[in-house]
Amino acid sequence: MTTPDLAPLLAGTQRSLEDIGEPLSATTFVVVDLETTGGSPDSSGITEIGAVKTRGGEVLGEFQTLVDPGAPIPPMIVALTGITDAMVYAAPRIEQVLPSFLEFLGDAVLVAHNARFDVGFLKAACRAHEYAWPGNEVVDTLVLARRATTKEEAPNKKLGTLARVFGTEVTPNHRALDDARATSEVLHGMLERLARFGITHREDLDSLRNPMPERLRKKAVLAEGVPSKPGVYIFRGPRGERLYVGTSKNLRSRVKSYFTRGEQRRQIREMLELAVAVDTQVCATEIEANVREVRLIEEHRPRYNRRSARPERTTWVKLTSEPYPRLSVSRAIAGAQGVLGPMRGAGDARAAIEALELAMSLRTCTTRLPLVPRPLARACLLKDLGQCSAPCQRGADSGYAQAVDAARSAMMEDPSPVVEALRVQIAEHAARLDYERAAELRDGVSALIEGAMRGQRLESLRRVSLVAARRSGDGWDLVSVSRGLLAGSEHVAGQVWAAADRLRDAWATLDVAEPLIEEQEMLARWLERPGTRLLHVDGEWAQSVNAAGRHASWVSARKDDHAKVVDSRRSAVSY
């Protein structure tokens, strides 16, 4: 039967058995129905649960139980369902039923008629009794019916009406299991009808729940030539311009989803309107895809990418290059006498600056001071408060150089002196009930430590070339890093050392560029994950580790959770 309201929705969609995704014939559905004492899970309880598990139209199992709602069942509900207080008197409570039902559900697609009602009650019960809701995909047959039936054949979309339309063997009767059986028959009747319009895979169901405009659905053909492999995809505009860059473990499925899954983001909808082509770059590993993404975004600045779009906005704290340096927030660090960061933002940078100025008695004025103080130069109030050695007045005799050296050491090596100096002040402010000021100083110390840790971590990465491996699926992901750059990656099922040798040999041909901060941090996170093994390292490894760690004992607690195993042909060293 042709349904007039469905054809426009699905026009322009080209499907085949090669479409990526789980075929609906192989999808496991659990159709559930509840009987309750009322309409709200906040004030009502469940009296019966019925569920049917199916796959490919075959019934795999059924679940049915009465439930003691813990309160009398209203007469109107008794008349509707036939479930009385006497019937549920000896029934289990919902907290006893939930474990069995959740086990029956497993990872199947959860189906219900007017799913908001049934799923709402189940979620509320899980919350009330501290069970984690599994988050299964939910299909509402009420929503599907609005797409799969006409107004003439089904003036309303009640379960009883749909059961008549699809000729179900079981008649709904407001008892949970029978209603679940009828809903299951209705579901398969609708799926059989919808298959003629290309709804053949699990992922296609979302296009019915969140329909895309016809003009965008027609563009789903852009995914036809996309490989079903991990990598990077680039949407291009009518002039060949790069509109948007993204990554996926399955490029074909991800690109198709933009046109079939009811994209709600306004800017992405606008991008899809402009897109005329999709380019892809297949990658051997997920980390390679992520790195390529940030490199492409930095190089081409796609209009619709927000994340990673402006790496030059990275914030640092630096000591200015002048006779009597001061601290400043900066986007560029060339020529700085000392650097802290990268920071997570300008707010963290300013908080760290305040902590350093207070602990190290650095000047806070922004005037560029001459090497020799001017005659009759006067110092500000900070000198009288003992918070500045007044180089503006005393010049080289002020001891300001020692304060700068201490600040540089705290920024680039060990922030412990700042932590210790401000610890007392934080405690004093807290004792005076000045919690706001204590919190400001605490946040400044935290920002300083975080910035120093990030800086040392990335500096260590820039000093080393290595090949690392980690288990992934049925094989190994191998990653080559050189001077903070991703030099290459492979996924292999065997011959790990041969692949590692190939990646190591590529170091010599690497055209070294300045690595992006985001790329370095991605690589650092990958290397720090448990189970990572280092197969090759260059001759500077030991010096790199020692230089980065010599003054960084304060980082050890943060690294305990990310212990890495150094594994070579000759030795295995943990650090």
Question: Which residues are the active-site residues?
Answer: 174
Best CA proximity match to 296, nearest among 249, 277, 307, 488: 307
**Residues 216-251 as b or e (16 or more Cβ within 10 Å = b):** bbebbebbeebeeebbbbbbbbeeeebbbbbbbebb
Half-sphere exposure for 137 (CA within 13 Å, toward CB) = 13
Those residues with Cβ within 8 angstroms of residue 96's Cβ, 6 or more apart along the chain or in another chain? none
Which residue blocks in 335-485 are alpha helix, DSSP H? Answer: 346-360, 381-384, 391-394, 400-412, 416-431, 435-462
Torsion angle in degrees (nearest 10) through CA of 189, 194, 199, 203: -50
Residue 94, both tokens: 């919902």
Q: What are phi and psi of 490, to 5 degrees?
A: -145, 150
At residue 330, φ and ψ (nearest 5 deg) are -145, 150
Which contiguous run of DSSP H or E holds residue 87?
A: helix 85-88
Element (H or E) spanning 248, and its range?
strand 242-248
Nearest to 155 by CA among 145, 169, 168: 145
Contacts of 204 (CB under 8 A, 6+ apart): 15, 21, 24, 198, 260
- Please, what sign has the CA dihedral across residues 150, 154, 156, 159? negative
